[in-house]
Structure 1
């Protein structure tokens, strides 16, 4: 039986690939990692795979599924699953499993880092020190997280973990907007639930996005909603780029409504070098790495092997 990891970068996951190959070999599986260009059909070397692991940049829709003649399972080891057509998998009777767990801590730590960088103006301070400029007398704008209101939009695996990691910082309120979460789940976390997103954001100093990309969440953060953000508020996006209308964010930053936009994800990836976000003084960017760490890779392989072993046992 064959398993294939699908990605678009020959430099991506080098450490992961070698470890996955060894782990799946112990299950008796042939393993291959294939790199392709966007828009290409799956290469013949992977078309006979029984299990695939598609990276977020490798979309799996009906067209791609038609090329996999032996496909029985799809591992989705990412925070989101918008790159995979789950309905098409179900129609074809193909098993799938979503494994967001290993990345949760890393995404939460990256989110908190962005909160602190924005509040403490750390990138600006680092840049000035690199230039030999001493700006100790220009830090009036730095803020604490303690005593502020933080909005978490989306209360799935990552949002829940984030709320518990934020609690020791003693924010005044950790507000949550998620129309799909059950009330009994919310009761187990140090949060206050809001029925309406507009009501939450207009009270919040920091708004952080952790919802999946769906038709209802696409362009969720737009000009109309941004008008209700408090002045100098901070918007953080470690979820998916298209949840935010980037040009509306630019307008809000330039108008002085939004104070900072910190993002790890973009509507277009990789971000073009000349893109306005890479140069804007109140935008903090990282290249879609919020969910990565050495520890994440270790746990991811454990979870992948566990999921595949369950499939193999069921398929015997």
Structure 2
């Protein structure tokens, strides 16, 4: 019997290039493939409930209640940077195996983070717009800066945080450090990266802060008015982690009050971001529509990692024509 794989998505447009490619590769490996787009909070569609393996989108929460709709479920592939959208205790209770596939997206999110840092400090977006409008203005350097010589802090030192840290070293910052209460002091052996024991010290020590932490009960709204008050005036904040880690109203106040010189975000408290949301028009904010982890090369690598994981679980499904 062919094992059935189901992808559960929330954003059909986002996955319109992934799904046909994913279907082709997994079916050629001997698996039956189904993809159904859901709304947030919607129960699993009947077409996917007989799946042996599911691949859920980050925005589709896999709770114990959702798992109950999958009587044949044997495995879950988690092709995201984090897995806070999956109730791991419920997965363990069911004896369902799972595999986290963070590497493909971590490359793209890390590169996007560096791009956004540079864009914030160089005010690139306004310069691009000026050129598009037919102008040639070379004195737009007031308030611009560079990463070289900066004190840079990373909050969350998992796969992405460490990759970003490695990329930042080539810019020769004055200091580079991280805060992550889930990473033991002896887990990171890198004399070039400082470990901060608490969030406040990192915030007060760094002028560029990048968020790469998971969303947990302790990290929700972690960056609020109180946290931002510890930043040096004119600091920069980036969030490519989870939208709900940041209190967006507090960020607005910090921008307007001069604590923040710039804010860049790929994730938001509520998505999609409202058409009239203040971030869309604020001159000190850069926004992207939750695409930091997406390039076509990422999709190709991700699907290959999925295929490899599935075949490791079901070696008998390997197709002879591959």
What's the TM-score once normalised by structure 2's chain length? 0.94
Q: 2:242 aligns with which of 240, 243, 246?
A: 240
Q: Where does the alignment leave 5 or more consecutive residues of structure 1 unmatched?
A: none
C-alpha distance in structure 2 between counterparts of 1:194 and 1:40, whole Å: 41
C-alpha distance in structure 2 between counterparts of 1:49 and 1:189, whole Å: 47
1:1-316 matched pairs, under 5 angstroms: 1-188=3-190, 190-313=192-315
- Aligned-partner SS, 1:168: helix
CA RMSD of superposed structures (Å): 1.6
C-alpha distance in structure 2 between counterparts of 1:98 and 1:222, whole Å: 30
C-alpha distance in structure 1 between counterparts of 2:39 and 2:212, whole Å: 28
- Aligned-partner SS, 2:139: helix
C-alpha distance in structure 1 between counterparts of 2:291 and 2:70, whole Å: 29
C-alpha distance in structure 1 between counterparts of 2:109 and 2:233, whole Å: 26
C-alpha distance in structure 2 between counterparts of 1:189 and 1:49, whole Å: 47
C-alpha distance in structure 1 between counterparts of 2:25 and 2:116, whole Å: 34
Deviating beyond 6 angstroms after TM superposition, the runs of 4 or more aligned structure 1 residues are none
C-alpha spacing 1:230/1:66, structure 2 compared with 1 (3 Å): same
What's the TM-score once normalised by structure 1's chain length? 0.95
Contact map agreement 1:163 1:190 (CA 8 A) in 2: no
C-alpha distance in structure 2 between counterparts of 1:306 and 1:265, whole Å: 29
- Aligned-partner SS, 1:208: strand
Aligned residues: 315
Contact map agreement 1:222 1:244 (CA 8 A) in 2: yes
C-alpha distance in structure 2 between counterparts of 1:164 and 1:138, whole Å: 30
Q: Where does the alignment leave 5 or more consecutive residues of structure 2 unmatched?
A: 318-322
- 1:108-167 deviations in Å (ceiling 9; x for gaps): 110011110011110111222223344423422111110001101111011111111111
- Aligned-partner SS, 1:14: coil
Displacement after TM superposition at 1:313 (Å): 4.2
- Aligned-partner SS, 1:160: helix
C-alpha distance in structure 2 between counterparts of 1:190 and 1:292, whole Å: 30
Displacement after TM superposition at 1:82 (Å): 1.6
